[in-house]
Chains A and B, each alone.
Chain A
Amino acid sequence: MESLHPRIRLLWIAQGAITAIVLGVVLAGVDQWLADVPTAVIAGVVAVGLVLGIAYAVRLYQVWQFELQNDALYLERGVVTFVETAVPFVRVQHVDTQFGPIERALGLSSVVVYTAGSRNADVRIPGLTPDRARDLQDTLRELAVESEADDAV
């Protein structure tokens, strides 16, 4: 099983921090216009949010694994709900590599695998180095072409 690049934790922590800060801003807004919220409570909520975010990021990194098995791409992920997904190579419609602004700043990239299924957005492998992502994309494409099934969707 292959793990993600350790730097992905920074991305997830950043996402958690953004959520915590947004929450803090909302609470400050409530304090300003609706009801009195003590500053200590706001600070506490933001701090707890940050700690939870960091814990979540660390745990998610520990859990996230993927592997190319002989017939399928196999993924394991999830902190609250642990999900094991198998994506048979025959079912791969196309493979993307993507990266967002924060990912680009961290030098990371994601591989997104599309199937004809209705849950296709689920199959996304984040936190890969750009080289590894391109490599994985090529491998998956070759495996998909090799095992192409002529059945109609």
Chain B
Amino acid sequence: MNRLHPLSAVTYAIQYGFLWLWVPIVLVLALGGIFDPISPAWSPIAAPLGFLAGAAYGIAYYYRFEYGITPDTFDVASGVFARRSREIPYGRIQNVDVRQGVLQRLLGLAIVSIETAGGGNTEASLNFVSESEANRLQDQIRRRTAYVKEQRRTKQRSANEGEQQGSQRPTEPDADSSDADRTGAVSGAETDTPSDPTAVPPDRADRTDPDSTPVDGEEPDAERRAYASEPDRQRRQRLFDLQARELLLYSFTSFRPAAVAAVLFVFFLATDPIIDLLVATAQPVGGPQEIGEGTATNYGILTVVSMINGIVITYLLSVAYTFATYYDFELGRTGEDFVYERGLLQRYSGSIPVEKVQSVTVTANPLQRLIGYAGLWVETAGYGPESSGGSQSAVPLAEQSRVHRFTENLTDVETPTFRSPPTMARRRYLVRYSLVAAVIVAAVFGLAQVTALEGWYFAAVVFVAVPPAAHLKYVHIGYFVGENHLVVRSGFWQRRTTVIPYYRIQTVSTRRSIFQRRLGLASLVIDTASSRTFFWGTPTIYDVDLEDAREAHTAGRKRLQSALRERARDDDLGLTVDFT
């Protein structure tokens, strides 16, 4: 078993020290109020004691945290008082991410997180390990996952052959892995010697591997050096680089809701100086001299100018955030994994096994569609480091035609010819948005009753927006029932075109609300294992004719079965790694 980087002992000590600092202070203050002999004046003495105890706990945490690579699982044992030991089988690992903040990059440290499909949390998080150790772990786990996969395939293949020839004994991975368990779980050491040469992954048969010879727990240092000095051994093949032009276009055309939250947060933190600043900026164009004096026109100008300021600042923040996040984005492949790297201040790198990809989505907002660009995302079942859950950006932004070609190469889907829902659906949206508009007008009317607002009926202009909104929603809905895939498109502001291979379908549901039943419409919900997130719902074909929905429902079910049979026979991934 390995320990984390020694510097993490320091950070844990400081972290827990400051956390525990408050315990005696709160205790002394609370008890001092109740019992006479305890005085609140003790806190200056009690606080350092709490800090020391916390620091001791932090150091103990460091010494009690161990992780290691065993032949079958990645193990993590942690906890000072309550111990937890966790074994994660390689076959279940969804992705391995490496994250580095600015300070960590200066110190040569990194945080490694390992995700599986289950649960809403990261299964194992190592903060911190050294940079080279992070690379070694990422590489080792990746190769062992590939190895497990290869073994499973060989076993299956030889089982198939065994059925035909009758005598051949299938390779038994269990046998040599239990051998390895007896030899002891030595980190990074390849203790199992596969009896079957075909079970050796292709990328390790052709080179001398320092970790194919059993090493003691003390020796990985040499191995780490070897990793640091030979980055090219990872054999990364580049698939896509985000060019400067694309990065800038992406930064300027996409918007991050997080920017709104950040601006609001800063506003609440420093309300007074910000209001003063806003008043000062509005003054030259006719805003009030100070809050509390000035006419209604002055206030109107102040409101408009402040709103423009707010929007511009939020937008610029969003641009800066996107720029910093996707700076130097690189997508590559190693073996059958996608590996990506990105970030200006905080560097992310992660790997996604191709066989874990559930669906592929092309996104484009109105601005991006205007300039003919789009982005490509892949969805896995685990939770990613981003707020978008199990969705990873494979190509943040590229020309639309390129993205479409990538999608077709990656999933092998034919160019879709989209079908639209019946025009009846548009009538539904017309009614729906009219109701929304009516609510807005009613709200303004209510406001006019309690404040001095005049001319509430001008709010009725929102009804002008209803027909175009309904039409735009309608025209962007489309679906395509392909040979091996279902393609679902929807959304005007963030148009998402999701390609779902039939073999990834989990459940299919036809939904009809009372309004839809009256119009003879239905929505089809296709659930996959990729986690549903706050922003991205489950892929749904909205408001198609009931018969079409039923047809797609049956097609999805039938083709799931046939696709699974085919896949079992051909051992086909269904995805092409070299999609660019």
Interface residues of A (CB under 8 A from B): 71-72, 78, 80-88, 90-91, 115-119, 122-123, 149-153
Known contacts A81-B511, A117-B528; 16 further A-B pairs (Cβ under 8 A): A71-B557, A81-B513, A82-B512, A86-B507, A90-B560, A90-B564, A91-B506, A115-B507, A115-B527, A116-B117, A116-B506, A117-B527, A118-B529, A118-B530, A153-B117, A153-B358
Please indicate the chain A residues that have their CB under 8 angstroms from the CB of B530 in the complex.
Answer: 118
- Which of the residues B503, B509, B529 comes within 8 Å of A83, measured between beta carbons? B509
Please indicate the chain A residues that have their CB under 8 angstroms from the CB of B532 in the complex.
Answer: 118-119
Interface check B561, CB cutoff 8 A: yes
Judge whether B356 and A153 touch: CB under 8 Å: yes
- Which of the residues A82, A123, A149 comes within 8 Å of B564, measured between beta carbons? A149
Interface check B567, CB cutoff 8 A: yes
Nearest chain B CB to A92's CB is how many angstroms away? 10
Q: Which 10 A-B pairs have the closest CB atoms?
A: A117-B506, A118-B532, A117-B527, A116-B529, A85-B509, A84-B510, A81-B513, A82-B512, A153-B529, A115-B506
Please indicate the chain A residues that have their CB under 8 angstroms from the CB of B461 in the complex.
Answer: none
Please indicate the chain B residues that have their CB under 8 angstroms from the CB of A116 in the complex.
Answer: 117, 381, 506, 529
Nearest chain A CB to B378's CB is how many angstroms away? 14
Judge whether A82 and B517 touch: CB under 8 Å: yes
Interchain CA distance A82-B512 in the complex, whole Å:
5
Please indicate the chain B residues that have their CB under 8 angstroms from the CB of A117 in the complex.
Answer: 506-507, 527-529
B residues 313-365 in Cβ contact with A at 8 Å: 353, 355-356, 358
Interchain CA distance A86-B559 in the complex, whole Å:
13
Taking CB as reference atom, which chain B residue is nearest A71?
B561
What are 9 A-B residue pairs whose CB atoms fall within 8 Å in the complex? A82-B512, A86-B553, A90-B560, A115-B527, A116-B117, A118-B530, A119-B525, A119-B538, A122-B509
- Which of the residues A83, A88, A119 comes within 8 Å of B561, measured between beta carbons? A88
Number of B interface residues, CB 8 Å? 36
Interchain CA distance A118-B120 in the complex, whole Å:
11
Interface check B156, CB cutoff 8 A: yes
Interface check B46, CB cutoff 8 A: no
Judge whether B513 and A85 touch: CB under 8 Å: no
Nearest chain B CB to A122's CB is how many angstroms away? 8
Nearest chain A CB to B529's CB is how many angstroms away? 4
Interface check B531, CB cutoff 8 A: yes
Interface check B508, CB cutoff 8 A: yes
Interchain CA distance A8-B309 in the complex, whole Å:
59
Interface string of B370-387 (1 = CB under 8 A from A): 000000000001000000
Asked, given contacts A71-B557, A71-B561, A81-B512, whether A119 binds B156 with beta carbons under 8 Å apart, the answer is: no
Interchain CA distance A109-B326 in the complex, whole Å:
51
Nearest chain A CB to B318's CB is how many angstroms away? 28
Asked, given contacts A83-B511, A118-B531, whether A151 binds B381 with beta carbons under 8 Å apart, the answer is: no
Nearest chain B CB to A56's CB is how many angstroms away? 13
Judge whether A87 and B507 touch: CB under 8 Å: yes
- Which of the residues A81, A91, A152 comes within 8 Å of B507, measured between beta carbons? A91
Please indicate the chain A residues that have their CB under 8 angstroms from the CB of B527 in the complex.
Answer: 115, 117-119
Taking CB as reference atom, which chain A residue is nearest B353?
A152
Interchain CA distance A82-B513 in the complex, whole Å:
6
Interface check B568, CB cutoff 8 A: yes
Interchain CA distance A90-B358 in the complex, whole Å:
16
Please indicate the chain A residues that have their CB under 8 angstroms from the CB of B568 in the complex.
Answer: 149-150
Interchain CA distance A116-B356 in the complex, whole Å:
13
Interchain CA distance A83-B507 in the complex, whole Å:
12
- Which of the residues A71, A149, A152 comes within 8 Å of B355, measured between beta carbons? A152
Nearest chain A CB to B123's CB is how many angstroms away? 14
Interface check B450, CB cutoff 8 A: no
Please indicate the chain B residues that have their CB under 8 angstroms from the CB of A82 in the complex.
Answer: 511-513, 517
- Which of the residues B156, B356, B553, B560 comes within 8 Å of A150, measured between beta carbons? B156
Interface check B266, CB cutoff 8 A: no
Please indicate the chain A residues that have their CB under 8 angstroms from the CB of B503 in the complex.
Answer: 151
Please indicate the chain A residues that have their CB under 8 angstroms from the CB of B68 in the complex.
Answer: none
Interchain CA distance A151-B564 in the complex, whole Å:
9
Taking CB as reference atom, which chain A residue is nearest B358?
A153
Interchain CA distance A84-B523 in the complex, whole Å:
10
Asked, given contacts A82-B511, A82-B512, A119-B525, whether A152 binds B564 with beta carbons under 8 Å apart, the answer is: no
Judge whether A88 and B505 touch: CB under 8 Å: yes
Judge whether A85 and B512 touch: CB under 8 Å: no
Taking CB as reference atom, which chain B residue is nearest A70?
B561
Interface check B48, CB cutoff 8 A: no
Interchain CA distance A87-B530 in the complex, whole Å:
16
Interchain CA distance A7-B509 in the complex, whole Å:
27
Nearest chain B CB to A52's CB is how many angstroms away? 15
Residue in B355, B529, B564 whose Cβ sees the most chain A Cβ within 10 Å: B529
